[in-house]
């Protein structure tokens, strides 16, 4: 083994969790339901035939012009005012998060995240040496009045303002909460007043099972403070690794200069375009949404049956249930036992950036279950195994 000291940005990071995959039923990952992965063979054939010279060449730094236009149209149809020049195509949304950090932060800076937050983003933020202002959520999303007070308090203490606000707006991962309209307006207003950029990450937005769509933060922003992340991972397939960041053009232009991957794969971009332009996306989305709505219902029923002590708010879309266990439960330890019993889940503490003492008390009473990946039979059996692990911890 090489005896070298890794960089500080890597030394900060926690050791990776279970990597065995194994035979456990998986409620831990945001994987797509395998039966919903679209057949892209005709689109790929066209991409490799009619578009071979483009598809197999280095791609343009900002993405294929057709792709940038497709994304801008998608966003305009969703109420935002975006032109192709505002869009940078990335290798998935997580790549967008990384580029955003590269553009806006220095080691030692602070950013705002909700508590809980998207747990895969936490190590990305940590790798940039960032600290966190954690803000609780209620049923309407991140508590903007609390954030206002926290910003005020930092100012009073002579601390630098946070460099940006990271927010998962719709069907939050992990809490499933969708922000109310008035909270969205309040967040955009506060960010505008304080001139703090907002990174809106909303990969599940189109996976709505019921209820009314609220305007995106991006569509409410007339001052150019909101950057929107996007991805085809949840609307098409995560393996494609196509995402984007859309924001004010001069800053997107700088972000593009920090992107050193030789251009996001043009072949995959063209496959996405051909699939969508061939009319495949709309019926696919309908099918996917129905599958996840059915999975959600099945898992909610299983949790109510097997875990009557647990409370949960039913999400109107997305991939996740966020369970709240009775006082005294340690969901990190429960996740270990559940894993031994053949179901993988993620205990609460993984979803908290972890620096606000007041928020630490309760986090191990939460647990995230993904209903996206399992079959109905697996959902029933997996929840039964989880309940058995929970029951054995209480005897
Ligand atoms: C909130 C959030 N952002 C980003 C992603 C990942 O997107 P991508 O696959 O495009 O990197 C996920 C996937 O689980 C997510 O839940």
Residue 170: pLDDT over 90:
yes
Say yes or no: CB of residue 30 within 6 Å of ligand 1.
Answer: yes
Closest among 196, 177, 203 to 314, alpha carbons compared: 177
Of 33, 97, 120, best ligand 1 pocket probe by most atoms within 8 Å of the beta carbon: 120
Closest among 234, 63, 36, 46 to 71, alpha carbons compared: 63
Model-level pTM?
0.95
How do residues 268-325 score in pLDDT, each as one tens digit?
A: 999 999 999 999 999 999 999 999 999 999 999 999 999 999 999 999 999 999 999 9
Residue 230: pLDDT over 90:
yes
**pLDDT over 70 percentage in the chain:** 95
**What does the alpha-carbon distance between residue 5 and residue 217 come to, in Å, rounded to a whole number?**
42
In this structure, how many other beta carbons lie within 10 angstroms of the beta carbon of residue 296?
Answer: 23
**What does the alpha-carbon distance between residue 169 and residue 176 come to, in Å, rounded to a whole number?**
10
Residue 358: pLDDT over 70:
no
Say yes or no: CB of residue 91 within 6 Å of ligand 1.
Answer: no
Look at residue 392 in the predicted model and tell me its pLDDT: 87
Mean pLDDT throughout 357-374? 83
Mean pLDDT throughout 27-53? 96
Q: How far is the CA of 368 from the centre of ligand 1 (A)?
A: 15
More confident residue, 382 or 354: 382
Look at residue 21 in the predicted model and tell me its pLDDT: 54
Secondary structure of the chain: what % helix, strand, coil (to 5)? 45, 15, 40
- 65: three-class secondary structure by DSSP: helix
End-to-end CA distance of the chain: 44
Average pLDDT value for the chain: 94
* Ligand 1 atom 7 nearest Cα: 93
**What does the alpha-carbon distance between residue 365 and residue 327 come to, in Å, rounded to a whole number?**
7
More confident residue, 257 or 19: 257
Look at residue 355 in the predicted model and tell me its pLDDT: 59
Rounded (10°) CA dihedral 110, 116, 120, 123: 40
Look at residue 20 in the predicted model and tell me its pLDDT: 53
**Residues in the chain, overall count:** 395
Sheet order of strands, 131-138 included: 87-90, 243-246, 226-231, 198-201, 165-167, 110-115, 131-138, 141-142
Burial per residue of 198-232, b for 16 or more beta-carbon CB atoms within 10 angstroms, e otherwise: bbbbbbbbbbbbeeeebbbbbbbbeeebbbbbbbb
Of 29, 93, 117, best ligand 1 pocket probe by most atoms within 8 Å of the beta carbon: 93
Say yes or no: CB of residue 201 within 6 Å of ligand 1.
Answer: yes
Say yes or no: CB of residue 372 within 6 Å of ligand 1.
Answer: no
393 pLDDT tier (thresholds 50, 70, 90): confident
Mean pLDDT throughout 113-124? 96
Residue 361: pLDDT over 90:
no
Residue 262: pLDDT over 90:
no
Mean pLDDT throughout 149-171? 97
Closest ligand 1 atom, CA of 95?
11
395 pLDDT tier (thresholds 50, 70, 90): low
Residue 163: pLDDT over 80:
yes
Lookup result for tokens 């051909």: 274
Distance of CA 307 to the CA centre of its chain: 27
Say yes or no: CB of residue 318 within 6 Å of ligand 1.
Answer: no
Q: Where are the alpha helices (DSSP H) in 157-280?
A: 181-194, 217-220, 249-257, 266-277
Residue 235: pLDDT over 70:
yes
Q: How far is the CA of 94 from the centre of ligand 1 (A)?
A: 6
Phi-psi category of residue 342: left, alpha or beta, with phi > 0 → left and psi -120 to 50 → alpha: left
Look at residue 360 in the predicted model and tell me its pLDDT: 54
Alpha-carbon distances of 227 from 4, 110, 135, 144, 163, rounded to whole Å? 38, 18, 20, 18, 13
Beta pairing, strands 110-115 & 131-138: parallel
**What does the alpha-carbon distance between residue 328 and residue 221 come to, in Å, rounded to a whole number?**
43
Q: How far is the CA of 242 from the centre of ligand 1 (A)?
A: 11
Say yes or no: CB of residue 118 within 6 Å of ligand 1.
Answer: yes
Q: How far is the CA of 392 from the centre of ligand 1 (A)?
A: 34
Burial per residue of 40-69, b for 16 or more beta-carbon CB atoms within 10 angstroms, e otherwise: beebbebbeeebeebbeeebbbbbbebbbe
Closest ligand 1 atom, CA of 202?
1
**What does the alpha-carbon distance between residue 218 and residue 184 come to, in Å, rounded to a whole number?**
10
Which residues fall within 8 angstroms of residue 329, CB to CB, at 6 or more apart? 364, 365, 390, 393
How do residues 65-100 score in pLDDT, each as one tens digit?
A: 999 999 999 999 999 999 999 999 999 999 999 999
Which residues fall within 8 angstroms of residue 186, CB to CB, at 6 or more apart? 144, 145
């Amino acid at each position: 083994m090489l005896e070298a000291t890794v960089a500080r940005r890597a030394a900060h990071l926690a050791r990776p969790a279970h990597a065995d995959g194994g035979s456990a039923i998986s409620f831990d990952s945001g994987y797509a339901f395998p039966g919903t992965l679209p057949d892209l063979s005709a689109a790929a054939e066209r991409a490799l035939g009619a578009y071979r010279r483009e598809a197999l060449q280095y791609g343009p730094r900002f993405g294929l012009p057709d792709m940038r236009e497709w994304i801008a149209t998608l966003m305009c149809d969703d109420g935002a005012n975006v032109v192709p020049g505002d869009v940078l195509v990335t290798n998935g949304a997580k790549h967008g998060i990384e580029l955003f950090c590269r553009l806006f932060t220095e080691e030692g800076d602070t950013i705002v995240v909700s508590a809980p937050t998207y747990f895969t983003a936490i190590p990305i933020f940590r790798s940039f040496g960032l600290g966190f202002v954690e803000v609780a959520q209620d049923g309407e999303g991140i508590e903007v009045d609390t954030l206002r007070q926290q910003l005020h308090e930092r100012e009073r203490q002579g601390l630098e303002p946070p460099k940006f606000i990271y927010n998962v707006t719709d069907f939050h991962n992990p809490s499933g909460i969708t922000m109310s309209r008035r909270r969205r307006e309040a967040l955009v207003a506060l960010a505008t007043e304080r001139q703090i950029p907002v990174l809106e990450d909303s990969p599940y937005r189109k996976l709505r099972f019921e209820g009314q769509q609220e305007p995106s933060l991006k569509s409410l922003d007339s001052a150019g403070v909101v950057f929107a992340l996007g991805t085809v991972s949840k609307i098409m397939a995560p393996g494609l690794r196509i995402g984007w960041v859309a924001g004010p053009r001069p800053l997107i232009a700088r972000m593009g200069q920090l992107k050193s991957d030789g251009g996001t794969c043009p072949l995959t971009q063209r496959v996405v375009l051909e699939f969508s332009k061939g009319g495949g996306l709309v019926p696919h989305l309908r099918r996917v949404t129905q599958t996840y709505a059915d999975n959600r219902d099945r898992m909610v029923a299983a949790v109510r049956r097997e875990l009557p002590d647990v409370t949960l708010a039913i999400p109107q879309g997305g991939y996740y249930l966020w369970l709240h266990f009775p006082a005294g439960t340690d969901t990190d330890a429960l996740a270990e036992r559940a894993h031994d019993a053949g179901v993988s889940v993620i205990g609460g503490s993984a979803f908290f950036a972890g620096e606000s003492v007041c928020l630490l008390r309760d986090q191990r009473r939460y647990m995230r279950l993904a209903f996206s990946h399992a079959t109905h039979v697996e959902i029933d059996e997996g929840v039964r195994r989880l309940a058995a692990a929970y029951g054995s911890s209480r005897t």
